[in-house]
Structure 1
Amino acid sequence: MAIISTKAIVLSAIKYSDSSLIVKCFTEKLGVKTYLIRGVLKNRKGVIKAAYFQPLTQLILEANHKQKSNLHSLKEVHVSHAYTSIHRDIVKQSIVLFLSEILSSSIQEEEENSVLYEYLETALIWLDTHDKIANFHLLFLLNFTKYLGFYPDLFDQETASSFNLFEGSFSNAFTDKNCIVHHNLFLFKTLLGINFDAIENVLFSKQDRQALLQIIIRYFELHLDGFRKPKSLTILETVFS
């Protein structure tokens, strides 16, 4: 058994028995790890609080990691960055719930990926500290593909008349149902190469936003084995409708 101290982002928390939680985290030092936290739902005076394990909360963990086990335990937990708006803004809560499902389904590696961790950490702090966030989840997901290995190939971006979601590249051929063209292509191109500070200048209608989200989710489905469409997708679409 090794005691590890690491930053971590909560991906999911599932109730186990009447009083415990099974929590999956993306840790800075060890990738995805799962923890059994016994009694946390009933012991309100304990040092580890159930409130720490809301979706995408940023923590510092001191954990006992067993070499031959998939389920580990926590000694200490502290919030590393306390959000000021996410947990009291219904739109931001809906975005966070949706993104936590995407991340939980997409990140499988049990090894250090500090570059991805920094991206998630920085993006979530940006969400917490800004107000014009209607397009945040779209840009977040598209930029997330850089760290998963299938960010769009930008060759011929300016002149191409279609983008093949399966191939991940632009072309002038319309080969199958996985090609996007016309207005959907324009929407997709609009997000490429911009940063979060630029999204408040991107004016999408609610129909544009929904169409683009469906395109991006299809892109994930084509490139990630076992990717599951988030259950919270309908909630997100309702919030932005």
Structure 2
Amino acid sequence: MLTKTKGLVISNMRYRESSLLVTIYTAECGITTYIENGVRSVKAKHKMALFQPLTLLDLEVFHKPGKGIHRISSAKCYFPYRKIPFDIAYSSIALFLSEVLSKVLKEEEANPVLFEFLESSFQFLDQAPGHTENFHLQFLWNLTEFLGFYPGLVSEFLEQLRAAGVPGLAGIDAEALSALFGAVYGQEVVMKRGQRQAVLAALIYYYQLHMESFGDLRSLQILQEVLA
């Protein structure tokens, strides 16, 4: 069945000599894996650049429910990024968040509200003139609402972490945290580097508490070094 949908590339993996397995979060079909043959050849219908993580695509796909791997009929980037691929701070945030999304997006069904959240978030990040140092923290907090474990209140968030024996919470000020999570993207919220790192560690612990398969994040060290 040929389906038209928007999609957000989550990850790609080399398959055999010239093919890719591309995981895309689509507005119409949820998280889906596609095989793209011959993508490394000169005559490739779709170039590798289309399948870099967080690329926003207009797609026509052959989608058959119950099938593990699907095929792409056509793909076109509808929002070319101007900063994310070229600015190390923006690209480090994008790399980190794409790894998070690869771990948490599991549903193979349409969720247009979640797709709109992801789409608008990364469009904002790419267009932001500054004050992106807290973007990943606010994104992780807001994403929990779509994943089913939104804590609602900062006090509830911290209480769950304390009950689980999570270390490092003494360095987190609840009032500052409420200001951070109550702010919109791009709104300046002053935090010291150590405070920001403590909040990120707490958010990662929170995800690990609620998702057994979440595990460690390989891109975390790169993000911390770049935003130091």
How far apart are 1:189 and its partner, in Å? 2.5
What residue is the counterpart of 1:177 in the other structure? 165
What residue is the counterpart of 2:76 in the other structure? 78
Please give the root-mean-square deviation of Cα atoms over the aligned residues, in Å: 2.0
Cα 1:223–1:68 shift into 2, 3 Å: closer
- SS across alignment from 2:201: helix
What residue is the counterpart of 2:159 in the other structure? 164
* Contact kept? 2:10, 2:98, Cα under 8 Å: yes
What residue is the counterpart of 1:194 in the other structure? 183
What residue is the counterpart of 2:134 in the other structure? 135
* Contact kept? 1:162, 1:181, Cα under 8 Å: no
What residue is the counterpart of 2:6 in the other structure? 7
How far apart are 1:93 and its partner, in Å? 0.8
What residue is the counterpart of 1:217 in the other structure? 204
* Contact kept? 2:169, 2:202, Cα under 8 Å: no
What stretches of structure 2 of length at least 5 have no aligned partner?
none
- SS across alignment from 1:122: helix
State the one-letter code of the partner of 2:42: R
**What CA deviation, in whole Å up to 9, does each residue of 1:52-74 have, x standing for no partner?**
01110000111112344200111
What residue is the counterpart of 2:87 in the other structure? 89
State the one-letter code of the partner of 1:238: E
What residue is the counterpart of 1:66 in the other structure? 64
- SS across alignment from 2:32: strand
Rg larger for? 1
State the one-letter code of the partner of 2:76: H
TM-score, structure 2 normalization? 0.92
What residue is the counterpart of 2:227 in the other structure? 240
Query: Larger deviation: 109-118 or 130-139?
Result: 130-139
What residue is the counterpart of 1:169 in the other structure? none
**What CA deviation, in whole Å up to 9, does each residue of 1:69-111 have, x standing for no partner?**
2001111100021111111111111111110010110010000
How far apart are 1:178 and its partner, in Å? 3.7
- SS across alignment from 1:137: helix
Is residue 2:17 matched to residue 1:18? yes
Equivalences, count: 226
Question: Residues 97-116 of structure 1: matches in 2 within 5 Å?
Answer: 97-116=95-114
What residue is the counterpart of 2:53 in the other structure? 55
- SS across alignment from 2:38: coil
Cα 1:175–1:9 shift into 2, 3 Å: closer
Percent identity between the two aligned chains: 37
How far apart are 1:240 and its partner, in Å? 1.1
Instruction: Write the distance in 1 (CA, Å) between the matches of 2:44 and 2:156.
Output: 59
* Contact kept? 1:164, 1:178, Cα under 8 Å: no
* Contact kept? 2:9, 2:25, Cα under 8 Å: yes
Instruction: Write the distance in 2 (CA, Å) between the matches of 1:55 and 1:8.
Output: 11
- SS across alignment from 1:59: strand
What residue is the counterpart of 1:27 in the other structure? 26
What residue is the counterpart of 2:216 in the other structure? 229
What residue is the counterpart of 1:171 in the other structure? none
Instruction: Write the distance in 2 (CA, Å) between the matches of 1:220 and 1:176.
Output: 12
Instruction: Write the distance in 2 (CA, Å) between the matches of 1:161 and 1:145.
Output: 13
- SS across alignment from 1:214: helix
How far apart are 1:205 and its partner, in Å? 1.7
State the one-letter code of the partner of 1:190: A
* Contact kept? 1:162, 1:179, Cα under 8 Å: no
State the one-letter code of the partner of 2:46: I
TM-score, structure 1 normalization? 0.87
Instruction: Write the distance in 1 (CA, Å) between the matches of 2:181 and 2:166.
Output: 18
What stretches of structure 1 of length at least 5 have no aligned partner?
167-173
